[in-house]
Amino acid sequence: MQSSQVAAWADIIHGPVSRARLAGRLTVVGVLLTVLGALCLSAPLIMLLAQTPVWSPVRQAPSEDTAQLEAAARWDRALLDSPQLAVGNAADPFNPSGQPAYATDTAYQALLGTGDSMARIRIPKIGLSLDIGHGTGAGTLETGAGHVYGTTLPVGDPGNSVIAGHRGLGLSLLFYRLGELGDGDLVYTQAAGRTVAWRVTAIHRVAPGSAAERRLLAADGRRTLLTLYTCDPPGLNTRRLVITCRRVPYVETVSVPGQTDWSRPALAAAGTALAATVVYLVFHPMSCAVRHARRRRD
């Protein structure tokens, strides 16, 4: 009889406290899981904000490399006179190695300087600033844009210079926001010290390998064009987004992107966590029970 009294007394003293502690722990775990789930769902938006750059003043462009630009002009004229058989990643039919033609073309690889970057492209409207590499190999497109072999070079000569890029790869946006461009937006390319301004004139979404795609990417010595080429919609290969730009007199209307600003993604993550916490506490069973009990007492 005494033991039952002791047990009953222990329940009176410790029982409610233990249940309260357990409920508190479950509430903390629930809040943490809710916040974690909300952050996972909002991760694409947070990463987009993280890679949207802060604008900084335009730096003075270096002096033009006359020799490199003359070599590029000769290459472009020869290309328009005698179009190449191998375009893009196609292999040279006369080279038994089977490698893409651009990889074995030493003259092409030396144009506009050697290394990973032959030029640079920037689009102030979408905060894009990327190196342009020789060719469109996997290594080049993992970190930047690539010049499509067999098209004119991005130096502002007559013809059609085609620049390709992935629409997001891992945490890198690359050409992800290209679909936000519209007629009249400005694009800039810089190579061998020369900066060229281009204005968007047409936006097309075409099937890969279609006649419309070939027409948009074809060389055209009658005009001076820059064509931006990527997949559509982002992350898929069902369509192609092709943006045609026409050369215009150089006008710098907006500043170029600078360092990344982490305050916006941090605020977005904090807001998401706070909203998830509030929603969880409002709809938590314990909160509902308390509200129901209050209504009964009233």
Token pair listed for 229 = 């080429």
Instruction: Measure the CA–CA gap between 30 and 179, rounded to whole angstroms.
Output: 39
Q: Given CA atoms 83, 89, 92, 93 in this order, what sign does their dihedral have?
A: negative
* Residues in Cβ contact with 91 at an 8 Å cutoff, skipping those fewer than 6 apart: 97, 98, 99, 100, 101
State yes or no: is 14 an active-site residue. no
Of the candidates 14, 134, 147, 231, the residue annotated as catalytic is: 231
Half-sphere exposure of 67 (CA within 13 A, CB side): 2
* Residues in Cβ contact with 262 at an 8 Å cutoff, skipping those fewer than 6 apart: 50
Instruction: Measure the CA–CA gap between 213 and 20, rounded to whole angstroms.
Output: 67
Of the candidates 134, 147, 166, 245, the residue annotated as catalytic is: 166
Peptide bond into 233 cis (omega under 30): yes
State yes or no: is 245 an active-site residue. no
Give the distance from CA 58 to its chain's centroid.
Answer: 22
Amino acid (one-letter) located at 98 = G
Catalytic residue IDs: 166, 231
